[in-house]
Amino acid sequence: MSYHADIFDALSGETAAGPRVYADVADGSTTVPYLVFQTITTGGETNHDGKRGVEFPTVQVTAWAVGRIAAAALADQVNEILEGNTIGDSQISFQFSDRRGNYDAETRLSGEILEYRASVQIPT
């Protein structure tokens, strides 16, 4: 199972967003609140024989809701699940990196963006 699937499984149904967890983008008609996650960058470590055994992706999760307070509360739930924890078959672990607010004027939704530096073993 990919670490993306592990993130989806860990967040689905465990927050106020319920099953509304999406990779990369959510449809504009998605019922709020919801979560969107994506990999921003992936750095790896190369050893002397050229094989990488670990990746260090930067994973971003955005909690979307009506109003700043609701978005922040949803982000708190996400952080409780991910920060400092190892999840799923991929054994991806998360280290908190950054948190910032966002507002989408078109949808009139508030977003709370969480970024994590993750570590995941990859098959060599």
Confidence label for 75 from pLDDT (cuts 50, 70 and 90): very high
The domain segmentation of the chain, as residue ranges, is 3-121
84-102 pLDDT tens trace: 999 999 999 999 999 999 9
* Long-range Cβ pairs for the range 31-36 (8 Å, 24+): 32/64, 32/65, 32/66, 32/109, 33/63, 33/64, 33/65, 33/66, 33/70, 33/71, 33/74, 34/64, 35/11, 35/61, 35/62, 35/63, 35/64, 35/74, 35/78, 36/61, 36/62, 36/64
20-33 pLDDT tens trace: 999 999 988 999 99
Instruction: Please state the pTM of the whole predicted model.
Output: 0.90
CATH number of this structure's domain 3-121 = 3.30.2000.10
